Amino acid sequence: MASARTEGESGPATDPSLTLALAYAPRDARPVFDDLFALDRRLADAVRQASEPIIGQLKLAWWRDRFAQDRSDWPKGEPLLARLAAWDADVSQLASLVDGWEALLAEGPLAEEAITAFGEGHADAWALAAAALGHPGPPPPDHAALLWSYADLAQHCSTSEDVERVQAAARGQRLLDQTPSRLPRALRPFAVLGTQGLRSLRSGRPMMSAGGDFLAAVRTGMLGR
């Protein structure tokens, strides 16, 4: 596996980065953010817990098959699917997030194509969540999504070489040259995560690992950037 999620992977309820960002979600928008990050961590678990790439691929294929179906045909009994079915958006596009996670299952060093697919999958999913909240853009949350997803990937890479590959990809895409665009109030959690990702990628430290990171994130949560 090119890059593995390490032991102790946390979910939306316990990840400090997400917990802080979600504190700035308006009450009526919070369910969409909860659903988005719950799905992201379910896909992360499929990759992290796979003893062989084929096992992870099979688990991810289940989700891809669901997003290829009309939501009315989704199986009953999966609470997350039931919540996603309520989104006012084209949920078939969430297959891009599945593809991004699957790219990490390739053998050998983490390839630039896999890093790009991972980032683009998150950018697509964040844009879809924004549309579900009535904010399809402009500006879309793409920049913030790439910053956070790359930073999250870097801090969970299994080798220092893969960490450098992620950081090099971010630099090559010029993601670190500017701060994310100001987003609507309903999308404030995305802005907070983008700020965390930017500081992490610039410093080479994990997100929320220094006091200044917390203060910068809070400032973004309050002011929008």
Q: Are 183 and 144 in contact (CB under 8 A)?
A: yes
d(CA 194, CA 130): 14
50 band by pLDDT with thresholds 50, 70 and 90: confident
Task: Give me the residue label for tokens 């090559």.
Answer: 172
pLDDT at 3: 41
Token pair for residue 105? 């299952």
Mean pLDDT for the chain?
A: 91
pLDDT band of 179, cuts 50, 70, 90: confident
Q: 110 φ, ψ to 5°?
A: -65, 120
Dist CA 173 CA 118 (whole Å): 14
Digit-coded pLDDT (tens) for 107-149: 889 999 999 999 999 999 999 999 999 999 889 999 999 999 9
Task: Using a pLDDT cut of 90, give the percent of the chain over it.
Answer: 81
The answer to whether 154 and 200 have CB atoms below 8 angstroms apart is yes
Listed by start position, the domains of the chain span: 16-223
H or E segment to which residue 175 belongs: none
Closest to 182 in 3D by CA, of 124, 221, 148: 221
- 61 pLDDT more than 80: yes
